[in-house]
Amino acid sequence: MEGKKPLESWGHPISENIRHSIRTVCTDCYWEWGNKPRHVRGAAVVGFSKNPPFPSKVEFLVSIGAFVIECPRCFSKFWFHIEEVSYVVLERFFIQR
């Protein structure tokens, strides 16, 4: 993110009891974060980590960190890698810190 303030981790941290989701789907009830409207996605973000436990294994994803999501259906938490464009759009309009 050239010329911008560096990102800092905030909110709920990633811990060993929060599972990684490759496809932005809740690891308990399979609620799908990625196909929801932006305001629903933004409200579900409860944290951001600039240092996820391991790098993204998705070849085309340039990860800048990871979102921690609280599922609005079952209230479990899960995390996934996030790219810059998704972070910027959600932060600007929808994430409530």
Domain ranges of the chain: 10-93
Q: Please tell me which residue, 82 or 6, carries the higher pLDDT value.
A: 82
How many angstroms separate the CA atoms of 21 and 94, rounded? 21
- CA 50 to chain CA centroid, nearest Å: 10
**pLDDT tens digit sequence for 50-92:** 999 998 887 777 889 999 999 999 999 999 999 887 777 777 7
Q: Please tell me which residue, 30 or 57, carries the higher pLDDT value.
A: 30
Q: Give the confidence band of 4 by pLDDT, cuts at 50, 70, 90.
A: low
Q: Please tell me which residue, 38 or 49, carries the higher pLDDT value.
A: 49
